[in-house]
Amino acid sequence: MYLWRKHADPKWLQSHEENLQLRFGSALAITQRPGKIRALIEVSCPTRNEAIELQREFGGSIEKLRADWLKQFAKRSAVKPVRVGSRLIAIPAEAAFGTGEHATTAMCLRMLERVIQGRDDDWMMLDAGTGSGILAIAGSCLGAKRVLAIDNDPLACSIARRNAGANRARKIEVRTGDVLKEKLGEKFDLITANLFSEILIASLPIWSQHLTRDGSLILSGVLRSQERALVAALRRNHFDPRETRRRGKWIALRAVRSPKTS
């Protein structure tokens, strides 16, 4: 495995990001850090020739990764902030993040940031399938009174708790459990879920009972080819899709309760 990387200014990134997303999908990672003008663009390449072609086309550098690179990265990974959107600073995802589907989380974070603008600090959030806790931490940092974060993986929950502590996000309850079976005793103003589309669709009847009248549902982890099925399921469960973002092969979608159910 080889890693091609390049530091680029905002103008270069704006000109090339869409092309890179189309060509490399989840193999592309773009990192922007607070106080840094230039972004770090990285593409994981299975062969040296692919990395060399990228270097010839765009410049940059190439690094050959060790066979155990993922384990070594997890060991040395420090909690350094990464900026997403205009106001939000988030943590890197670490081991519980999944398989590199950074686009899905980035889209959710940008939707979350916009949805809560203008809200007071009295709103509550459910993060279903929290993973590293990045969405839950973002909600807490952006003013949620309480965040319930659920994941069925104890390791993910452990990492989420650690990340919450490192970011001083004290209003988060991380709970190990199945999102389809967990008993929810309250309603939430915001429900986020970055999960497989089958789980999202199966969860909609539950979430329709636990979203406040003016609340928002932010979903991702969905392929473009699965968008139509998800939209149909949302409408069956009395949700009104309001916004869809597409990045590479992934989509993120925001929905609200249909007016007739409010």
Is residue 124 within 8 A of residue 136, CB to CB? The reply is: no
* Cβ neighbour number for residue 113 with a 10 Å cutoff: 17
**Cα separation of 90 and 161, whole Å?**
15
Per-residue pLDDT of the chain (262 residues; tens, 9 = 90+): 788 989 999 899 889 988 888 888 767 777 665 457 888 888 888 899 999 999 999 999 998 877 665 455 445 444 445 444 444 545 454 443 333 345 788 888 888 988 888 777 789 999 999 988 889 988 988 889 999 999 999 988 988 888 888 778 889 999 999 999 998 989 999 999 999 999 999 999 999 999 999 999 999 999 989 999 999 999 999 999 998 888 778 889 999 998 766 5
Q: Please say which residue of 40, 56, 73 terminates a domain.
A: 73
Is residue 189 within 8 A of residue 215, CB to CB? The reply is: yes
Residue 68 shares a structural domain with residue 102: no
Q: Can you tell me which residue has the tokens 């190439």?
A: 62
**List of residues 6+ apart from 78 with CB closer than 8 A:** none
Q: Please say which residue of 73, 97, 127 terminates a domain.
A: 73
Count Cα atoms within 13 angstroms, Cβ side, for 144. Answer: 29
pTM more than 0.85 = no
Q: Can you tell me which residue has the tokens 């636990």?
A: 210
CATH number at residue 246: 3.40.50.150
**Cα separation of 154 and 131, whole Å?**
10
Domain of residue 58: give its range: 2-73
**Cα separation of 93 and 153, whole Å?**
15
**Cα separation of 68 and 149, whole Å?**
31
The total domain count for the chain is 2
User: Can you read off the two tokens belonging to residue 61?
Assistant: 């550098």
Residue 158 shares a structural domain with residue 241: yes
